[in-house]
Structure 1
Amino acid sequence: MNTTNIAIFISGKGSNALNLITYFKNTEQFKICLIFATKENPELERSCAVNNIEFHFSVKNGIELEKDQVQLCTSKSISWVVLAGYLKQIPPSFIALFPNRIINIHPSLLPKFGGKGMYGINVHRAVLAEKESKSGITIHYVTEEFDKGEIIAQYNLDIEEDETLETLETKIHALELHYFPMVLEEVFKKK
């Protein structure tokens, strides 16, 4: 059985990446072999060391960042790139190396509340300001435009009348942790 090598790019706390490491840890078919972070993350770095996953931290931007990403993904024979709270735009030349093989998770029901600057608490604030009755998560392919790629899956929840930023963020994060690994596994198996 061939192993599918996976890279995860993050910019945040890394809780989705930690969850994915745990989920895929004991599978022979799928192996997370690279975590690429744009923010220091000692907890995630320790988890990578324990699980024999390369952890790479970089503060570079633009072409220098892309060169690092291409070199690392090539050296690890990466088949899939997963964006788990990654806030930088993926350059077209990198997308061309992984056509329909870069997947992002977004904390709203796209196309609503997507695009540049719409991430994390910014999304939840906008959802509550618009008095939406539902919110959720979208798992989608990455294209050159922020949050415009083909939707793979969406999961929603009801917004309560007394919903706060904190409660909505907690509920959305629970959806991410529950559904993201399963959806990724299904997509990886199909391709």
Structure 2
Amino acid sequence: MAKRIAVLVSGGGTNLQALIDTQQKEGLGGGSLVAVISSKEGAYALERAKKANIPGYVVARKAFPSNQAMTQALVELLRTLNIDLVVLAGFMHILTGEIIRAYPNAILNIHPALIPSFCGPGAYGLHVHEQALAYGVKLTGATVHFVNEEADGGPIVLQKAVEVLPDDTPEVLQRRVMEEAEWRILPLAVSLFCQDRLRTEGRMVRILPPPFEI
């Protein structure tokens, strides 16, 4: 049975596009993108979904009195859609424990740094790359991890390093991290999940070999 994937977005949807492109070219391990859910009206990610014939939905943060109320609405929608895997791809709101309990080890997030560096509260978007440049690191990158109740604290699935160059600005570094890391490892992690090849043991995520075919 193909796993049904929902992608949660807030903005342009570049990582969503990477998932769409991978699904159209080689597939996502048998998984299928069946919903794109935006936290705001008019997000360009919804246009990307429309062009790919993926149903789009809006669960607007401003329509709810709290993150918890929004999270509860999201969980209801995800259950209605029979979602198996939730992917956070530039989703800019902190979700509360209801979604973690509804989807244990079934929520993937992409973070534009090598966790545990430059992560946690306040480390999102361009801020992450500003922090990396201010610290003077020679390598940064991206991380795909399972989501738990600690911001950027869930078990790590995949990481890929990216070189920091002397003349980098936050914007230039952000683009390189997306192209060289985020757009590669997020589709791969989703594919591995959909093939049932991720096993979580405490903080360790083991990647199982592909099934033997006769």
Same fold (TM over 0.5): yes
What percent identity do the matched residue pairs reach? Answer: 29
RMSD: 1.8
Structure 1 counterpart of 2:209: none
Q: Deviations over 1:127-155 (max 9, x none)?
A: 00000111000100001010010011110
Shift of 1:50: 4.1
1:177 is matched with which residue: 168, 177, 183?
183
User: Is residue 11 from structure 1 mapped to residue 17 from structure 2 by the alignment?
Assistant: no
| Uncovered stretches (5+) of structure 1, i.e. residues with no partner | none
8 Å contact 2:12–2:44 — kept in the other structure?
A: no
- Following TM superposition, the consecutive aligned residue runs of length 4 or more in structure 1 with deviations greater than 6 angstroms are none
Q: Which amino acid aligns with 1:11?
A: S
Q: Secondary structure at the match of 1:137?
A: strand
Q: Secondary structure at the match of 1:9?
A: strand
Distance in 2 (CA, whole Å) between partners of 1:8 and 1:30 is 12
What is the aligned residue count?
190
8 Å contact 1:13–1:41 — kept in the other structure?
A: no
Distance in 1 (CA, whole Å) between partners of 2:48 and 2:118 is 32
Structure 2 counterpart of 1:107: 112
Relative to structure 1, is the Cα distance of residues 162 and 44 closer, same or farther in structure 2, using a 3 angstrom cutoff? closer
The 5 Å alignment of 1:61-76 reads: 61=64, 62-76=67-81
| Uncovered stretches (5+) of structure 2, i.e. residues with no partner | 198-214
Q: Which amino acid aligns with 1:9?
A: L
TM-score by structure 2 length? 0.82
Q: Deviations over 1:143-190 (max 9, x none)?
A: 101001001111001111222212211101112112211222012212
Distance in 1 (CA, whole Å) between partners of 2:47 and 2:165 is 38
